[in-house]
């Protein structure tokens, strides 16, 4: 039997406010509204109308003012919209008032991003982080829904059940948040154990960061041969992926893709994802991938710079990787000592990028042959743990060919046959 049911597509009117008293990040603009429309498409919805309001100050009750609310309501009804999404952050009370007056669901940019993250999370860790951020977003809005009961505290008809339900919901969410934080702390401990093992083995770590849709996953695929889905849409990759990258015979690194950044990224979402993003502060090198084909690349790069600083990774060595150079529209490509232009799609510039990574991370390792007496066989275990063992032959002695760091060579010097 054929199922003819079709998934309902949400039709949304997008609304933004540009006010003189708000900061540049808090305001809506033509470019941020275009990005909001792309976010909506990523979430599976369709934009049926856009309203960008210019106003000196936000209205405390409706954010955009009564007249503009009436205009938006008319657009909603005329276009058959099922929701209204604001590019700006709304307070819980504003969200409630607007939903009542417009007669449809009202979200802000943070709620839309959370919805996308909820769809994209695949690993247990990713789902934990998204769920924590969702509960932190919900909690003040839950309280807002019950404000009318709190104001009438003690009035006839409001004693007991209403307040009890509010307290029950609050306690339930607080318990969930605490449990999720404990689970994520366990994730941090596991990561710390993995990190200490990498440090013991002296394996350098490279973290790829960048604005969403800058081409981070495509770059990881191109460098390592990984088969990560890389589509032209925002937040296509959410869960961190780590692969091994052979830079040279004596230099191997671990390279990790991270979740993309975006302007107006909800702060509690950054907090929730710190279990993943804290890897940035422990990385030996950052690759900041910038979409050079995007006219807004400077603004996008500034957003990433700010979040790198917030995550405590501003002192980590970095290479700025200007991706999509085959689609660059300027006269002169960006250039400099810590800058490389590449096209992850065509492969242009990747050899130079590998060379730059090697220049910064090759710890002076050497391929050597060691002759170990059998009574020193325990040193073979050390080599397996701390070096890259390529071959072992058992004869009069144990002949080992391995790639060793300078520090390890100091311990093995008396057994060296050659360098």
The DSSP element (H or E) to which 271 belongs, if any, is: helix 267-272
pLDDT, residue 113, reads 87
pLDDT, residue 322, reads 95
For 141-190, write each residue's pLDDT tens digit: 775 554 444 444 444 444 444 456 677 788 888 899 999 989 888 887 88
Q: Of 254 and 265, which is predicted with more confidence?
A: 254
Task: Identify the burial level of 309 via C-beta atoms within 10 angstroms of its C-beta, where 0-12 means exposed, 13-18 middle and 19 or more buried.
Answer: exposed
- Position 5 pLDDT exceeds 50: no
For the ranges 27-36, 124-133, 195-204, the one whose mean pLDDT is highest: 27-36
For 268-297, write each residue's pLDDT tens digit: 777 766 666 766 777 889 999 999 998 889
Q: Which residues contact residue 160 at a Cβ distance below 8 angstroms, ignoring those fewer than 6 apart?
A: none
- Position 110 pLDDT exceeds 70: yes
- pLDDT range class, residue 241, cuts 50, 70, 90: confident
Length in residues, the chain? 419
Task: Identify the burial level of 26 via C-beta atoms within 10 angstroms of its C-beta, where 0-12 means exposed, 13-18 middle and 19 or more buried.
Answer: middle
Q: Of 381 and 235, which is predicted with more confidence?
A: 381
Beta bridge partners of 53: 17
- pLDDT range class, residue 81, cuts 50, 70, 90: very high
pLDDT, residue 77, reads 95
pLDDT, residue 143, reads 57
| Contact of 357 with 284, CB cutoff 8 Å | no
State the Cα–Cα distance between residues 130 and 364, nearest whole angstrom. 41
Q: Of 251 and 299, which is predicted with more confidence?
A: 299
pLDDT, residue 313, reads 84
pLDDT, residue 14, reads 96
- What is the number of alpha carbons within 13 Å of residue 267 lying toward its C-beta? 4
State the Cα–Cα distance between residues 55 and 178, nearest whole angstrom. 40
Q: What is the side-by-side order of every strand in the sheet holding 11-19?
A: 46-55, 11-19, 83-86, 105-108
State the Cα–Cα distance between residues 293 and 306, nearest whole angstrom. 21
Average pLDDT over residues 373-391: 86
Residue closest to 235 by CA, chosen among 255, 216, 208: 216
pLDDT, residue 151, reads 42
Average pLDDT over residues 342-360: 91
Note if the pTM is more than 0.75: no
For 312-344, write each residue's pLDDT tens digit: 888 889 999 999 998 887 777 788 889 999 999
The average confidence (pLDDT) of the chain is 82
- pLDDT range class, residue 235, cuts 50, 70, 90: low
pLDDT, residue 392, reads 92
- Position 198 pLDDT exceeds 70: no
pLDDT, residue 88, reads 92
| Contact of 85 with 50, CB cutoff 8 Å | no
């Amino acid at each position: 039997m054929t199922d003819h049911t079709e998934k309902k597509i949400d039709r949304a009117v997008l609304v933004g406010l540009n006010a003189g008293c708000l900061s540049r990040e808090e305001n809506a603009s033509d470019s941020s509204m275009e990005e909001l429309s792309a976010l909506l498409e990523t979430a599976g919805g369709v934009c049926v109308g856009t309203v960008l309001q210019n106003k000196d100050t936000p209205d405390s009750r409706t954010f955009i003012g009564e007249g503009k609310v009436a205009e938006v309501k008319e657009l909603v009804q005329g276009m058959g919209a099922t929701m209204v999404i604001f590019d700006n952050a709304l307070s819980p009370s504003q969200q409630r008032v607007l939903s009542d007056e417009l007669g449809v669901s009202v979200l802000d940019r943070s709620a839309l991003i959370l919805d996308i993250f909820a769809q994209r999370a695949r690993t247990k860790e990713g789902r934990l982080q998204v769920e924590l951020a969702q509960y932190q977003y919900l909690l003040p809005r839950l309280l807002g829904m019950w404000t009318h009961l709190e104001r009438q505290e003690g009035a006839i008809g409001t004693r007991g059940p209403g307040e009890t339900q509010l307290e029950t919901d609050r306690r339930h969410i607080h318990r969930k948040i605490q449990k999720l934080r404990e689970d994520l702390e366990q994730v941090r401990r596991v990561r710390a154990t993995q990190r200490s093992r990498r440090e013991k083995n002296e394996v350098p770590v490279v973290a790829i960061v960048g604005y969403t849709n800058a081409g981070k996953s495509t770059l990881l695929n191109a460098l390592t041969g990984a088969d990560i889905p890389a589509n032209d849409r925002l937040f296509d990759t959410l869960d961190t992926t780590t692969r091994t990258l052979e830079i040279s015979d004596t230099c191997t690194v671990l390279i990790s893709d991270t979740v993309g950044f975006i302007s107006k990224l909800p702060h509690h979402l950054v907090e929730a994802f710190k279990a993943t993003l804290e890897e940035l502060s422990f990385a030996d090198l950052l690759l900041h991938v910038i979409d050079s084909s995007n006219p807004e690349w400077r603004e996008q790069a500034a957003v990433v710079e700010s979040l790198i600083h917030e995550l405590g990774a501003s002192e980590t060595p970095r290479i700025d990787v200007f991706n999509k150079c085959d689609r660059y529209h300027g006269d002169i490509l960006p250039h400099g000592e810590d800058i490389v232009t590449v096209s992850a799609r065509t492969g242009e510039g990747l050899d130079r990028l590998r060379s730059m990574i090697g220049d910064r991370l090759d710890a002076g390792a050497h391929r050597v042959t060691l002759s170990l007496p059998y009574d020193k066989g325990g040193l073979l275990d050390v080599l397996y743990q701390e070096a890259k063992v390529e071959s072992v032959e058992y004869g009069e002695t144990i002949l080992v060919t391995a790639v060793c760091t300078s520090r390890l060579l100091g311990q093995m010097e008396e057994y060296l046959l050659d360098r």
